[in-house]
Amino acid sequence: MLYAASAAVLFGLNASTTKVIIQSGVTPEQAVFIRSITAGVIALVWALIANRSELRVEKRLIPRLLLLGVVGVGTLQWAYSQAVVLLRVGIALLIEYTAVLWVAIIALLVFKERV
């Protein structure tokens, strides 16, 4: 319960805090870099303490994981920071959290995939 409450509070503070940080002169790219590095280090330390053996990855998957992490997550975080800067926070969050729905709609209508 403590983790869920902490996550909810931090989620609620994220967009407003990001907007204030960027308005103070930090670029969206710098904010994304700092946030991603900090989250990655915290997650790595947690994983090393909790279950080190779960961090093993086949060598052939490392390039794919790096690409997903740097391009996929990095682009998502950058776009989120840009949306927070350019739009009202509520609109930015609405766009972010309806993205899952848009992916399904595009997969169905554009790529003719079964959803």
Please check the confidence at residue 89 and state whether its pLDDT lies above 80.
no
Please check the confidence at residue 14 and state whether its pLDDT lies above 90.
no
Domain boundaries, the chain: 2-109
- pLDDT, tens only, 40-86: 899 999 999 998 888 888 999 999 999 998 888 888 888 888 888 88
Please check the confidence at residue 96 and state whether its pLDDT lies above 80.
no
Taking CA atoms, 32 is separated from 6, 50, 72, 79, 93, in Å, by 21, 26, 13, 10, 16
pLDDT of residue 16: 83
For 112, left (φ over 0), alpha (ψ -120 to 50), or beta? left
3-state class of 84 per DSSP?
helix
pLDDT of residue 111: 93
Residues 6+ apart with CB under 8 A from 108: 114, 115
Taking CA atoms, 52 is separated from 39, 44, 58, 86, 103, in Å, by 18, 9, 15, 41, 34
> In angstroms, how far apart are the furthest CA atoms of the chain?
46
Q: What is the mean pLDDT of the chain?
A: 88
pLDDT of residue 28: 86
pLDDT of residue 81: 84
Model confidence band, residue 11 (pLDDT cutoffs 50, 70, 90) = confident
Please check the confidence at residue 35 and state whether its pLDDT lies above 90.
no
pLDDT of residue 104: 92
pLDDT of residue 48: 92
